[in-house]
Amino acid sequence: MDSQEKTLHLVEIGAASHSTLQALEFPVVLQLLEDRCRTPYGKTSARTLAPSPSREVAQRLQSATREMLQFRKEQGSLPLSLSTDVRPFLDRLGVEGFALTGMEIHLLVEQVRCGLEVRATLLRCPQKDLRERGRSLPDLGNLARYLDGKTTPSGLLEDRCSTDLLQVRRQIASVSLRLESELTAIAGRGEMARALQDDFIALRNGRHVLPVRIDAQGFVEGIVHALSSSGATVYMEPLSTVPLNNELVRLREQEEVEVQRLLLEFSDLFRSRLSELLAMLDDLAELDLLQARAILAEEMQGIDPDFSEEPSEASPLLHLSAARHPLLERALQASGRPLIPLDMTLDKDQRVLIVSGPNTGGKTVALKTVGLLALMAQSGLKLPATQARLPVFRRILIDIGDHQSIPDSLSTFSARMANISEMSREVADPALVLLDEVGSGTDPEEGACLGVAIIDYFRRRGAVVVATTHQQGIKAYAAVTSCVANACMEFDEGSLRPLYRLRVGAPGRSGGLDMAESLGLPREIVRHARSLVPRQREILDSYLHALQALQEDLRRETASAEQAAGEARRREAVREETEARLSRERESRFSRFLEETSSALRVERETFLSSLADRESERRFRRELEKRDREMMGTIRASLDPDLAPTSRREPRRPVELLPGARVRVSSLGLSGIVDHVAGGSVLIRSGDKLLKASREDLEFEEESAPQDRGLPPGVRLTRSAEPQVGPELNLIGKTVEEALPMLDKYLDDASLSRLSPVRIIHGMGTGRLRAAVRNFLEAHPHVESFSQAEERQGGRGVTVVRLHL
């Protein structure tokens, strides 16, 4: 993440408050992200990731995730695997003169090596932005090379850290060996062996001693250093080994002084690069989080969201196709149950959706799915859907669930009104407002009026509103307000089971009495409840029931019509393919017949002409026969296929605008060519290997096939394929210079006509004569813009890469 993006995250107001993030379970998504991070730095970044209200930042985050997905597909994972957070070490380095331990230095070197490996990997990758991230990683290679291998994983300094350390350690080893030999000899004496508790040499207070029985210490002349915990053994240093022990203690102190000097030296090296080390850890955190976003996208089969700007008739304001709530999907997968995906569309003139339907029908899940996917999209996360088009919301606001607060003496209704009041102050266009069971918790009539007023308030402030309700008054408001749409969660009337599919266009029935009866509530209670429902409400429920049935019939008829249209399109495609195949076969048969007939006539003609002795007569006969050939070919074509019969020559068309690459004819010269350059009233025309200058008035537009038809017998047409007929390389190996250069000239003409560049000329190395001839020829050729030797892995000196003027 560059400095501009970091600044935007710091200064702009977040797209959602903490309460909104909690209500939409965004922290659970962040936990999934954290679990896929491989460094403590990435995990910290994952925990603090927040949706950005900036379109620029959101698009940049999505682009970075897309690049990382491509990188992982081609290259695999980044070499990131760090378990220790070294930031506390770096904090202590900020104190001048503070020395790290050997273990801390070893861990720092490991992390620097990791940063260098990540940097090298990114610099080799084809993704441009990732390469730039690699370049921004500090290059601490010299520091890593100097300190590499100077500490062990346990934190000890290696002997080769300095000459003094190596020398003193050698002296310690020598003195230790002499001391152990002396103590072993003492322990082996007869009277001493009987006095010893064990036959080993112990270390007490940094000195080598012998374990002597408490009742035998009088047999040993020496210094007592310690008593065992049982009191049965006394650890004594024989007087004869005191000088050696003294020498060993002195050397160990000298070693410790050198070790501390080296640790301070190594710490100072890190201190001098402290800012780069901190920058490296920040960059590794961003890369780790970026890779975690890509891993999560792979697991969810996520797609890129399309951030809508100005919706049009063809592009809705908000569109989700087969959208899945990522957390619900994981929970259902764990229990072996499928998730019904969500389809939702809001047009620019229909920014409010009122979702109704039975309890447990999925209304709240639909609400949460829209909100959570908006948060994920603006955080750089891919979305679990097949299509997703969303605005970039400056604020995402939600009122959902039970806000009852006993400590604050707030009932559920009071708490919800307080929350909506706060939302009204925070709303900023464009905003996404999600309202669950709006207007509930009070008198139904008042609640419906209040719900309509709340929805209309946010609508008039330009917000996209998705609200769920059971209130008939709110459904009626949606039905009569042009920019508001009703929608329902589908419900199987037969089994009284929700289908969890959202259908836009009609409100849903709450079906509370039906649901209560299906759940076993006594029929007497249900019948009494039905008798209490006002007649108008009964009529409205009946109307909604009928409307849903009509919509279902319409949906089935539409699906049937679409299927029939698809079948018709398939049959039409088969018919067109059959006609094209028959046409190709007819043209192929005609071409073969024409070729066979022409060959037979040419043989007979040459036989006849060769028998004539008079040359003048031969020439006269030859011209007459050529004329007859043309007439006969035209007659044959007309008899085989009237569509292929000769037609009157069409007048050339003048171009509306002369552009480089257009085929034209120079009227005064009778030459055809391709426009190379246009300058004022003059035009440069390339004809073969020549460049001609002509005025605009002297040019006529010519169809692609026109130059190829000139000079052919009447009735014969040559069609050139639109696809290049030449390959990307010409192999001249084994050819002489005299054979190769004509082949090369024709190949360059064909490649230029086919607009093929660059091309490869394979001439081999050999004696170098053919290569020199080819390159001399290329220097003067009009089609050639430049040429160079191929890379070693692509042929090196044996291949010349040629770039042509196109």
Q: What is the mean pLDDT of the chain?
A: 82
Q: Are residues 672 and 791 in the same domain?
A: no
Compare 565 and 131 and report the one with higher pLDDT: 131
Task: For residues 208-222, give the mean pLDDT.
Answer: 80
The reply to whether 762 and 683 lie within a common domain is no
Tell me the average pLDDT across 758-781. Answer: 89
Strands (E), 272-417: 306-307, 318-323, 342-346, 352-356, 387-390, 395-399
H helical segments located in 76-214: 87-93, 102-123, 128-136, 141-147, 163-187, 190-195
| 649 band by pLDDT with thresholds 50, 70 and 90 | very low
Q: What's the rounded mean pLDDT across residues 304-310?
A: 85
pLDDT category, 122, cuts 50, 70, 90? very high
Q: How confident is the model at residue 65 (pLDDT cuts 50, 70, 90)?
A: very high
The answer on pLDDT for 273 being more than 80 is: yes
pLDDT band at 189 (very low <50, low <70, confident <90, very high): confident
Residue 550 lies in a domain: no
Q: pLDDT grade, residue 337 (50/70/90)?
A: confident
- With a pLDDT cut of 70, the percent of the chain lying above it is 79
Q: What is the pLDDT of residue 637?
A: 55
Question: Exposed, middle or buried, 632 (CB in 10 Å: 0-12/13-18/19+)?
Answer: middle
200 falls within a domain: yes
- Flag whether 145 is in a domain: no
CATH of residue 788's domain is 3.30.1370.110
Confidence at residue 399, expressed as pLDDT on a 0 to 100 scale: 92
State yes or no: pLDDT of 323 exceeds 90. Answer: yes
Is residue 629 domain-shared with residue 668, that is, in the same domain?
A: no
pLDDT at residue 733 tops 70: yes
Q: Is residue 726 over pLDDT 80?
A: no
364 pLDDT more than 60: yes
**pLDDT of amino acid 566:** 84
* Most confident stretch, 192-206, 238-252, 261-275, 514-528: 261-275
Residue-level pLDDT at 233: 84
Helix H or strand E segment including 211: strand 207-213
Tell me, yes or no, whether 343 and 483 share the same domain.
yes
Q: Indicate whether 672 and 787 sit together in one domain.
A: no
pLDDT at position 386: 95
Q: Is the pLDDT of residue 56 over 90?
A: yes
The yes-or-no verdict on residue 12 having pLDDT over 90 is: no
pLDDT attached to residue 406: 39
State residue 617's pLDDT score: 56
Does 420 lie in the same domain as 366?
A: yes
CB within 8 Å of 425: residues ≥ 6 apart: none
Top-confidence residue, 526 or 274: 274
Domain assignment of residue 241, yes or no: yes
**490 within a domain of the structure (yes/no):** yes
Contact 23, 401 (CB under 8 A): yes
| C-alpha span between 2 and 290 (Å, rounded) | 13
CA–CA separation, 184 and 171 (whole Å): 20
Distance of CA 351 to CAs 432, 493, 779, Å? Answer: 10, 30, 66
Least confident of 269-273, 505-509, 521-525, 584-588: 505-509
Question: What pLDDT does 102 receive?
Answer: 95
Residue 701: strand, helix, or coil: strand
| Residues 621 and 669 reside in one and the same domain | no
Angle at which helix 26-35 crosses helix 326-334, to 10 degrees, equals 70
- Would you say residue 8 has pLDDT above 70? no
Looking up residue 30, the CATH number of its domain turns out to be 1.10.1420
Per the CB < 8 A criterion, the answer to whether 228 and 209 are in contact is: no
Domain extent, residue 784, equals 729-804
Lowest mean pLDDT among 50-64, 175-189, 234-248, 527-541: 527-541
**What does the alpha-carbon distance between residue 266 and residue 129 come to, in Å, rounded to a whole number?**
34
Judge contact between 301 and 384, C-beta under 8 A: yes
CA distance 380 to 50: 10
- Of residues 791 and 215, which shows the higher confidence score? 791
Is 617 in contact with 563 (CB distance < 8 Å)? no
**Residue 639, token pair as written in the block:** 């008899």
Please state the domain count of the chain.
6
Tell me, yes or no, whether 156 lies in a domain.
no
Q: Give the burial class of 141: count Cβ atoms within 10 A of its Cβ; 0-12 exposed, 13-18 middle, 19 or more buried.
A: middle
Q: What is the tens place of the pLDDT at every residue in 678-708?
A: 776 778 887 765 677 788 777 887 754 333 4
Tell me what pLDDT residue 706 has. 39
Q: In CATH, what number is assigned to the domain containing residue 450?
A: 3.40.50.300
Asked whether residue 755 is assigned to any structural domain, the reply reads: yes
Same domain flag for 287 and 344: no
What span, in angstroms and rounded, lies between the C-alpha atoms of 796 and 806? 25
Which among 104, 103, 90, 84 is positioned nearest to 43, based on CA atoms? 84
504 and 596 housed in the same domain: no
Q: Is residue 703 part of a domain?
A: yes
Q: Are 288 and 394 found together in one domain?
A: no
Q: Among 121-135, 446-460, 535-549, name the one with the lowest average pLDDT.
A: 535-549
pLDDT at 157 over 50: yes
Mean pLDDT of 427-447: 87
| 346 and 416 co-located in one domain | yes
Q: What pLDDT does residue 312 have?
A: 60
Of 654, 679, 709, which one is at a domain's C-terminal end?
Answer: 709
At 507, list the tokens.
Answer: 């409100």
CB 439 within 8 A of CB 474: yes
Q: Are residues 295 and 310 in the same domain?
A: no
For residue 793, what pLDDT is reported?
82
**Strands annotated E in 663-774:** 663-666, 671-679, 682-687, 690-695, 699-701, 729-731, 759-762
Task: Write out the E strands in 484-595.
Answer: 484-492, 497-504
